[in-house]
Amino acid sequence: MQSSSTVQTKPNGPVAAVFLAAGIGSFVLGLFVVLNEVSTDISNFLKFDANYGLGSGVGPLSGKAILGILAFLVSWLVLGLLFRGREVRFGPILTIALILVAAGFLLTFPPVFEIFLPKEA
Amino acid sequence: MELTDRELWTLIHGMGLGAVFLLAFGGGLASLWSLRSKLVTEEGLAERTPRLLIGTTVMAVVSWLTVIVGAWVVYPWYRAAPPEGLDLAVQSDALREFPRYWLLAGEKTAEWHKFGMEWKEHVAFLAPFLATAVAVAVLYYGAQLAHRGDIRRALLIFFTLAFAAAGIAGLFGALITKAAPVA
């Protein structure tokens, strides 16, 4: 059996692309969770169920989820084309992806996103 | 013995898809952990790789199905608004049909919504992103993963984070359903 260092493997670009896209999707979802708290106008915009007929009774969660999913899919497509067939520096990309995922976790945590609630007069 | 439509969908969302997700995670994690060129022969890799691919793909597909069913089928029943005139400050039998409002009406139960549901409904959506990234990487590299320690370690981290996101959502889902069932 050959050792790992001598075995030729596929370039890591496509995998780096989907990892980074997962980070971007997580962050965008978290961002819209916060924006939903910040502004009533944004909260109303995020009601994709009522505004665009995407479900019924889901409320702003429909917009937050759909925009997060779109961010994941679109960034995966764009990064996939950019990194196609390339061996990229995986360490820094993984670090950025993990920071974005951590931000996604944090921004969906109620004690964190409630910090952005408008102050009552 | 009978299940209402709502109980059936809640069961599919929580126990059906949730249980498959947990099983797929256990199998996938063990396979990923041991998929190292120094630990397994080429024959061993050929035998384990399809199982790993099935485990990670099932986990990704199930995580998407779980959040879609959760958000677009079960959640609207949870957050349905009571008719006008119903006292929202008293945990009455009539208010029980509107779980979000019933929880908020009680001092001891309000945090199940304010903290539990508010976190659960959002954090759950991270699981399919992370699980999809893992499944795509396994599909792309296949047995070559045994020779890519950097990718395999990243997969283990993402896989565990996907499980954590789904676990938080699942735990709060079970506890909230116990406090105020959607039925």
Residue listed under structure tokens 């119903």: B86
How does residue A120 score in pLDDT terms, banded at 50, 70 and 90? low
Q: How many domains does chain A have?
A: 1
CA distance B155 to B104: 40
> Does the beta-carbon distance from A29 to B125 stay under 8 Å?
yes
In a domain, A18, yes or no: no
Q: For residues A104 and A30, is the Cβ–Cβ distance under 8 A?
A: yes
Is the CA virtual torsion B23, B26, B29, B34 positive or negative? negative
Task: Tell me the chain B residues in contact with residue A3 when contact means C-beta distances shorter than 8 Å.
Answer: 37
For chain B, the domains span 5-179
Q: What is the pLDDT of residues B115-163, one digit of tens each?
A: 999 999 999 999 999 999 999 999 999 989 999 999 999 999 999 999 9
> Does the beta-carbon distance from A90 to B158 stay under 8 Å?
no
Residue listed under structure tokens 């780096």: A16
In a domain, A101, yes or no: yes
> Does the beta-carbon distance from A110 to B125 stay under 8 Å?
no
Give the DSSP per-residue string, B136-162.
HHHHHHGGGGGG-HHHHHHHHHHHHHH
Question: Does pLDDT of B84 surpass 70?
Answer: yes
Residue A65 belongs to what domain range? 24-113
> Does the beta-carbon distance from B76 to A55 stay under 8 Å?
yes
Which of B71, B180, B176 is CA-nearest to residue B122?
B71
In a domain, A44, yes or no: yes
pLDDT at position B47: 81
Q: What is the pLDDT of residues B1-38, one digit of tens each?
A: 788 999 999 999 988 998 898 888 888 888 888 887 77
CA distance A34 to A15: 29
Task: Tell me the chain B residues in contact with residue A63 when contact means C-beta distances shorter than 8 Å.
Answer: none
In a domain, A8, yes or no: no
In a domain, A120, yes or no: no
